[in-house]
A and B are shown apart, each in its own frame.
Chain A
Amino acid sequence: MGWKNRPTQELTKRGIDEKRNGGEEEWKKIRVVVRTETGKYKMSKQINSGVFVAGLGVISAIGNDIGETLAAFRSGRPGMGPVSHLDTVHRQIPVAEVKLSNEELALRADDSRGVSRTALLSMIAARAALEDAAIKNQSSLRTGFVSANTVGGMDKSERFLQDFFVDSGRGRLREVVRHECGSITEWVADRLAIRDHITTISTACSSSANALFYGARLIRHGLLDLVVAGGTDALTKFTLNGFNTLMILDPQFCRPFDEDRAGLNLGEGAGYVVLVSERVAESVEVYCRLSGFCNANDAYHQTASSPEGTGSFLAMKGALERGGLQPSAIDYINLHGTGTQNNDIAEATAIKRVFDPRYPPMSSTKSFTGHTLGASGGIEAVFSVLSIRHGIVYPNLRFSKPMNGFSFVPETRFLENQEIRHVLSNSFGFGGNCSSLIFSKL
């Protein structure tokens, strides 16, 4: 990618200026979109520079594809349960595992080499997103893969190191060849034949929200036409034990935003969206626009969130400003909502600062999927887009007691036939990394 002389550079710059000045209203004036039979949208006229979502792919504890996922939401069926695939002594801790063994995942991902579970999940969801986007001339587009994860091929490295720590000459090297986060991304990119731009982001639990953010910016700058963006993480002993030592794992199913919440449940999965430029969006069907995004840092503590929710507040506020939206325009908030005392009070405080006194419906889908760490921003981006697409709000399971000091409560019902125009999705993580995304109906 050359830095200069990019054909769409001027257009991109103009787009950014228009966003700043006119924002959402400016954009609406010039849009001409038609809803198609599939429920996606087709654009019939040149509009200003935006980034659009053309495809979705997800796998998590509540479903191996979008159909299963929506069915689980509809029936209020969470994905948590006793450990069945992960090799750990902590079998009493509930986890939200994808309901397929490595062998079953490998079959679906066309792998015969025993690659990391993280890569298999990524492959299944990213390929599904591309299939959903159904872009005919993809090979002629400048295509990127921006994927996120937090521990790479750790599931394999753990096995290798058991032997290696006994004797440094032992352990099968093929089990550590994909230890690096980036090598998970490459394994998938190679199979999807994506070569133009490949990178990996790791900002703990906000990783894949930042992947969408970065992918969108590569498109806005005219560097790429299409980006598959999202993230993946498999459960590992490393992360399960890590969160266990922090004593923030709920021994029961988690209760996000409940006064008596007792911690998070770890989950696993992958979620990707296909982001396309305005030019590509003119010739394919799209779901919605990625209209706002912001990345901020809490700068308070390596793992804990500040009591004022500074990072979360700045991320939400920045995303609204970028989208040219007032808080009242948001129809649904997909919360970060891990279920820990610390996260939920910081996030609730930030929400109060942004939204008081009018709160949109909000829920934590981690009450279904568990906290999927580096995948959560991607998985929840898919949920956010589906919320717009189907006019639905997901229930926040197991909520009973409102948090002290807050006048709002999460939505506990599955709501249908809603007019959902703008969805805010929050992702916050270790290292103070906080990112918010906004998806907007056309």
Chain B
Amino acid sequence: MSVYIRATACISPQKTFGSVPFLTAPVAYTGNRLGCVEPDYRDLIDGRLMRRMSRIIKMGVAAASWCLREACAVSSPDAIVTGTAFGCLEDTGVFLSRLIDQQEEMLSPTAFIQSTHNTVGGQIALMLQCHRYNNTFVHRGFSFESALLDGLLLLEENEASNVLVGGLDEITDTSHAIMTRFGLYRRLPVSNFELFAADSKGTLAGEGAAFFLLTNRPSANDYARLEGVTTFYKPADVPAIENRILSFLGSHSIGTGDIDLVITGQNGDEKGDTVYRQLQGTVFKDKVLAPYKHLCGEYPTSTSFALWLAANILKTGTVPEVIDSGGRYLDRRDSGNPGERQNKRRVRRILVYNHHQQVHHSLLLISAMEG
């Protein structure tokens, strides 16, 4: 069975939301925190519903709403599945800080009731009056992948002919401060465009909300085909990772030779990026590896940004220079003028390979529509 990406919408630290050119003017950041470029929500969300919404709820509902608007044929999906590792951190933090400050007295319920991890999925259902299947996965670096797999299974079961799937996470001041103490981020200011320039410890914090309408029926406006998703947990070593990659491709009756572009989860942390470098010497030999986290930062559901990126590359037939210009990961035989290369070489099939903190590894396989 084939699954098609009918529509997608993404709010990210880049200008990705709405009718905008495809990453032609990437946003530069200095510092270790990439926050979302947010749209004016008033056009997208009912004011009455929006009043109590925190930032992540607004981002999620707006992205879902735009995605469905783009898929115009679909007013309400057969299923809504979201993936979020951290859930609604802002509301959680607000309720906790008041609980501590006020010693558990005189609290208001608003932040609490909006803090549950399924709030965004529930709010989308409420907005659409959608009574169908609704689920939320909250498994760290597998959250979005689990949601995608659930969506694929629903389509295969004929329980749904279209599924709205989203991945989202937010940074808050509290979460950023705590994760900084864990040593996850760069200590010295660095431009996001220089993230891969020198080996260093740590990465950039990121966030975002990306939604996809998946269907089992092709249409003229589809972005791409979603061929598959897989996850693997704590692989023993690099050969184990290689095996998982090859068997995943094998299960789709293809090999690495059939992949035109590998979008990777390199995040500038020297230890974590070693894996990608080693694979470049083996299974990804002679492949073009394109990173994406200098655009959206590192967060557990960042593969939703990568899928948005891949879907747009396949739909537009363009590889944005910003993921291809560093030169470091380019196939040297193909390192001509970037503009010419885009015209010369049409990307037909993309593999996304990401690992989150070397624990959660995932693969997404996406291919261009026929013709």
Contacts and interface: CB of A to CB of B under 8 A. Distances in A.
Contacts of B131: 296-299, 310-311, 314
B135 A181 contact: no
A204 B116 contact: yes
B321 interface: no
B130 interface: yes
Contact of B251 (A5, A164, A203, A214): A5
Contacts of B230: 1-3
Interface string A419-430: 000000000011
Contact of B99 (A183, A210, A238, A297): A238
A245 interface: yes
A197 interface: yes
Contacts of B153: 217-218, 221
B95 interface: yes
27 contacts: A2-B248, A3-B227, A4-B252, A16-B158, A89-B104, A158-B100, A165-B97, A165-B101, A168-B177, A181-B139, A182-B138, A182-B140, A189-B233, A198-B139, A201-B136, A201-B138, A214-B135, A221-B153, A238-B92, A242-B112, A244-B107, A246-B113, A296-B131, A302-B114, A431-B118, A432-B134, A433-B136
Interface string A287-316: 000000001111111110000001100100
A241 interface: yes
Interface of B: 80, 85-87, 92, 95-97, 99-101, 103-105, 107-109, 112-119, 121-123, 125-126, 128-140, 142-143, 146, 149-150, 152-153, 156-158, 174, 177-178, 181-182, 227-231, 233-234, 247-248, 250-253, 359
B136 to A, nearest CB: 5
A89 B114 contact: no
A202 B126 contact: no
Interface residues of A, number: 66
B112 A198 contact: no
A90 B177 CA distance: 30
A127 B178 CA distance: 32
A91 to B, nearest CB: 11
A241 to B, nearest CB: 5
A185 B178 CA distance: 21
Contacts of B118: 202-204, 429-431, 433
A302 B52 CA distance: 11
A176 interface: yes
Contacts of B87: 181, 202
Given A2-B252, A297-B132, A198 B142 contact: yes
B85 A241 contact: no
Select the residue from B87, B125, B131 with max chain A CB neighbours within 10 A: B131
* Dominant secondary structure of chain A at its interface with chain B: mixed
Interface string A231-258: 0000001100110111000000000000
Contacts of A265: none
* Dominant secondary structure of chain B at its interface with chain A: mixed
A272 B185 CA distance: 37
Nearest to B181: A173
Given A164-B178, A200-B138, A302-B126, A180 B96 contact: no
Nearest to B104: A89
A3 B223 CA distance: 20
A162 interface: yes
Interface string A14-42: 00100000000000000000000000000
Contacts of A365: none
Contact of B112 (A173, A195, A217, A241): A241
B85 A4 contact: no
B109 A246 contact: yes
B178 A182 contact: no
B180 to A, nearest CB: 9
Nearest to A152: B138
B117 to A, nearest CB: 4
Contacts of A303: 113
A161 interface: yes
A186 B300 CA distance: 15
Interface in A381-433: 429-433
Contacts of A64: none
Contacts of B103: 89
A19 to B, nearest CB: 11
A172 to B, nearest CB: 11
B119 A297 contact: no
Contacts of A297: 80, 122, 125, 130-134
Nearest to A16: B157
Contacts of B138: 180-182, 200-202
The 6 tightest CB contacts between A and B, nearest first, are A2-B251, A431-B122, A3-B228, A242-B112, A182-B139, A182-B140
